[in-house]
Amino acid sequence: MAKLIIVSNRLPVKLQEKEGKLTYKPSEGGLATGLGSIYKEGDNIWIGWPGMVVEDAEKQQQIHEDLHKESMHPVFLSEAEIKEFYEGFSNETLWPTFHYFSQYAIYDQNLWETYVEVNQKFCDEVVAQAGPEDTIWVHDYQLLLLPSMLREKLPDATIGFFLHIPFPSYEVFRLLPWRKEILEGMLGADLLGYHTYDDMRHFLSSVNRIIGHGSMHGWINTGSRSLLVDSFPMGIDYEKYATVAGSDEVKKRENIYRANFKNQKIILSIDRLDYSKGIPQRLKAFEMFLERYPEFHEKVTLVMLVVPSRDAVEKYKELKEEVDELVGRINGKYSHINWNPIQYFYRSYPLETLSAFYRMADVALVTPMRDGMNLVCKEYIASKLDQKGVLILSEMAGASKELSEALLINPNDINQLVESLHAALVMPEEEQVQHMRNMQVSLRRYNIHHWVSMFMDRLAYVKIKQLSLATS
Ligand code: G6P
């Protein structure tokens, strides 16, 4: 039977070893949480890195077997590959460039060469698993070369690619020394998907100006093949978030947490620790809010959950220090014996805890400097069963294109952020409910299942169209 092979750098589970025992925890980040619910259908499999260095062959075998039972196939990376491919080229070259932080980008030929080698390693594993009828769906910036590598080995394969982060404007993309090779790597796919129309347009413009292929209605002809580029805004597993939020367990947790915030409004912020998320800017805006609106002292708390991420990368270490310092400074300045304006947690949390926080939050503050989509804001909306609460959302997140009923802000405009916080905290309940309800209707409909079927249907259509183009 034909199956779907999902390929991404990170598997939806993360391997950990405690006292010689292997354990598997859910992975963080939009890709893993977004697709986590769908890959187990039928004979589908997911190929990716299990998140830990494992050199011992016996242990590797054990992990293979454990993961196989859960429809996953591990690709093991050595310590050097993690440094050069994952931390290096993926997260110190591509990530900053694609998020418009090109001043943070490192250009190093050695890192690039390891990036090519690791993409080849993934290619070998996919080729070993793929049957002729299978559909291969490659995800994200760590594997930009994989579509063409696969095309070379499996010329007739059905290959989709989806980018979960922004695709930058040509003027930024062209800074990369390997810009041509990267585009050529991506063009091996039959269908290339982006979260937004703007990302797709930026990609088409780079292909045109760097490689010289024009496009018509998203179709590119490379001379030997035709492929399609389109936008598919990713949704969430809406029912899962709504159901968890309505469970007794989550209600119980919410009651316990609430007891600590009597007569206070809660502003919630949840992100991986990443400079693209605008965490220091958000903290500074909250500080300015406290200064400008002293009547809210002791009446509001910012609950800030920061999930550790890529902590071996220099810029992430520096950011951690900056956040720690800012939180300390603001709390030091405003805290009372029975009130801390910021409750800061640096760790990851299970879904039930996040859900209780979503339920509790009067305001969700989602203010990235850049974000491909951002699923946290969608999870917040799906968890608001009573429809009370306000979302403040950055215009620079892909999600802002769909969630126009949120309070949209420019994260560089601190004054606007402060005034939006105030507007959110005093917004009448009927108005909150009206906006929340409208956003819920759209997110429930355009959920993760809708996203997957839109992408898959379009991919099947591309294959049919390619045949008719080849015979005409
Ligand atoms: C973002 C990326 C994903 C990545 C996730 C977590 O959502 O788009 O590809 O997996 O961040 O980052 P990590 O480096 O821990 O995989």
Q: How far is the CA of 81 from the centre of ligand 1 (A)?
A: 17
pLDDT band at 36 (very low <50, low <70, confident <90, very high): confident
Q: What is the C-alpha separation between 375 and 270, in angstroms, rounded?
A: 11
Q: How far is the CA of 424 from the centre of ligand 1 (A)?
A: 30
Q: What is the pLDDT of residues 49-66, one digit of tens each?
A: 999 999 999 999 999 999
User: In the predicted model, is pLDDT for residue 234 greater than 80?
Assistant: yes
Q: Is the CB of 376 under 6 A from ligand 1?
A: no
User: In the predicted model, is pLDDT for residue 40 greater than 90?
Assistant: no
Residue 353, pLDDT score:
97
Half-sphere exposure of 414 (CA within 13 A, CB side): 13
User: In the predicted model, is pLDDT for residue 33 greater than 90?
Assistant: no
Residue 230, pLDDT score:
98
Question: What is the pLDDT of the chain when averaged over all its residues?
Answer: 96
pTM: 0.97
Residue 337, pLDDT score:
93
Q: Is the CB of 92 under 6 A from ligand 1?
A: no
Report the nearest-CA residue for atom 12 of ligand 1: 29
Residue 18, pLDDT score:
87
Amino acid at 110: N
Q: What is the pLDDT of residues 426-454, one digit of tens each?
A: 999 999 999 999 999 999 999 999 999 99
Q: Is the CB of 234 under 6 A from ligand 1?
A: no
Instruction: Tell whether ipTM is more than 0.85.
Output: yes
Pair of tokens at residue 20: 């010689």
Q: What is the pLDDT of residues 290-334, one digit of tens each?
A: 999 999 999 999 999 999 999 999 999 999 999 999 999 999 999
User: In the predicted model, is pLDDT for residue 154 greater than 90?
Assistant: yes
Residue 130, pLDDT score:
96
Q: Is the CB of 31 under 6 A from ligand 1?
A: yes
Write the CA distances from 263 to 297, 298, 300, 388, 426, integer angstroms.
11, 9, 8, 16, 14
pLDDT band at 39 (very low <50, low <70, confident <90, very high): confident
Q: Decide which of 22 and 194 is more confident.
A: 194
Atom of ligand 1 nearest to the CA of 139: 9
Residue 391, pLDDT score:
99
Q: What is the pLDDT of residues 389-424, one digit of tens each?
A: 999 999 999 999 999 999 999 999 999 999 999 999
Q: What is the C-alpha separation between 293 and 422, in angstroms, rounded?
A: 8
User: In the predicted model, is pLDDT for residue 100 greater than 80?
Assistant: yes
Q: How far is the CA of 394 from the centre of ligand 1 (A)?
A: 20
pLDDT band at 29 (very low <50, low <70, confident <90, very high): confident
Contact 102, 175 (CB under 8 A): yes
Strand partners, 408: 393
User: In the predicted model, is pLDDT for residue 460 greater than 80?
Assistant: yes
Q: How many angstroms separate the first and last alpha carbons of the chain?
A: 31
Q: How far is the CA of 397 from the centre of ligand 1 (A)?
A: 16
Contact 99, 141 (CB under 8 A): no
Q: What is the DSSP string of 266-320?
A: EEEEEEES-GGG-HHHHHHHHHHHHHH-GGGTTTEEEEEEEE---TTSHHHHHHH
Pair of tokens at residue 463: 């294959």
* Structure-token match 């209605």, residue found: 217
User: In the predicted model, is pLDDT for residue 3 greater than 80?
Assistant: yes
Residue 389, pLDDT score:
98
Residue 260, pLDDT score:
93
Q: How far is the CA of 106 from the centre of ligand 1 (A)?
A: 19
User: In the predicted model, is pLDDT for residue 208 greater than 80?
Assistant: yes
CB atoms within 10 A of CB 240: 18
Atom of ligand 1 nearest to the CA of 140: 9
pLDDT band at 35 (very low <50, low <70, confident <90, very high): confident
Atom of ligand 1 nearest to the CA of 90: 14
Q: What is the pLDDT of residues 258-290, one digit of tens each?
A: 999 999 999 999 999 999 999 999 999 999 999
> Which residue in 147, 223, 140 sits closest to 191, CA to CA?
147
Beta strands in 35-167 (DSSP E): 45-49, 72-74, 135-139, 158-162
Q: What is the C-alpha separation between 327 and 283, in angstroms, rounded?
A: 7
DSSP-derived secondary structure letter, 23: E
Atom of ligand 1 nearest to the CA of 141: 9
pLDDT band at 31 (very low <50, low <70, confident <90, very high): confident
Rg of the chain on CA atoms, in Å: 23
Pair of tokens at residue 419: 């005034």
User: In the predicted model, is pLDDT for residue 19 greater than 90?
Assistant: no
Average pLDDT over residues 212-219: 98
